[in-house]
């Protein structure tokens, strides 16, 4: 099982990670970070394959994926 770590305060809410996730296991949180942006959160940890597309697409390097 993979683990996605989100550094919430780096996120600027672009939603690229959510858009490009092939398994659709990310969504934008209703919470906001210190900069005033919504950040991604997992919807289904079991379905994540650890493909790292979310981390690759993030322009702010706010996501890290561990297998």
Q: Is 16 exposed, middle or buried (0-12, 13-18, 19+ CB in 10 A)?
A: middle
Q: Domain count for the chain, please give it.
A: 1
User: Residue 1 has what pLDDT?
Assistant: 80
- Confidence bin at 57 (pLDDT 50/70/90): very high
What mean pLDDT comes out for the span 27-56? 96
What mean pLDDT comes out for the span 30-50? 95
pLDDT above 90 for 67: no
Q: Range of 13's domain?
A: 3-66
Q: What is the CATH number of the domain that holds 26?
A: 3.30.70.20
What mean pLDDT comes out for the span 16-44? 97
Q: Which pTM value belongs to this model?
A: 0.91
How far apart are the C-alpha atoms of 8 and 5, rounded to whole Å? 9
């Amino acid at each position: 099982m993979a683990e996605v770590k989100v550094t919430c305060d780096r996120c600027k809410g672009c939603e690229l990670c959510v858009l490009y996730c092939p398994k659709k296991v990310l969504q934008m949180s209703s919470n906001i970070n210190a900069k005033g942006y919504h950040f991604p959160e997992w919807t289904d940890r079991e379905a994540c394959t650890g493909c790292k597309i979310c981390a690759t697409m993030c322009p702010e390097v706010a996501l890290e994926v561990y297998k």
